Amino acid sequence: MIVVDTNVVAYLLLDGDRSKNARALLQTDSQWAAPILWRSEFRNVLALYLRKKYINAMKARELMSKAEQLLRGNEFQVPSTQILDLVENSTCSAYDCEFVALARDLGITLVTNDKQIVREFKQYAKPLKQFI
């Protein structure tokens, strides 16, 4: 099991430059986990794609459903105190620290393409390309 950030979920489900790496990651480890926050973040990604007319509403609903199936049973509530502890000792956002806190709490790796997270939390986070 690995923790993935919302961007990795988006790379998997929305075709782009990093989709191949996300598919390879899924082959490497198909049990993905995330804090519940991922849902709001992914809906925001879908909203952007809708507004730019890259996808239609029906496709957005389909992609949200696929993402929910992918993470079903592996979505976690993260205690605010853990997140704020990480915020206090980094320059990362509380949103980013939520993913780090989950990885730390579960004792597993966070896979992300966010260079700031990887730089500040080397012990918990690995870049997507390095992990596959």
- Going from the N-terminus, what domains does the chain have, and what CATH number goes with each? 2-131 (3.40.50.1010)
100 φ/ψ angles, rounded to the nearest 5 degrees: -65, -45
Q: What is the pLDDT of residues 76-125, one digit of tens each?
A: 999 999 999 999 999 999 999 999 999 999 999 999 999 999 999 999 99
> Tokens for 1?
């099991």
Residue among 124, 113, 111 nearest 85 (CA): 124
Q: What is the pLDDT of residues 29-74, one digit of tens each?
A: 999 999 999 999 999 999 999 999 999 999 999 999 999 999 999 9
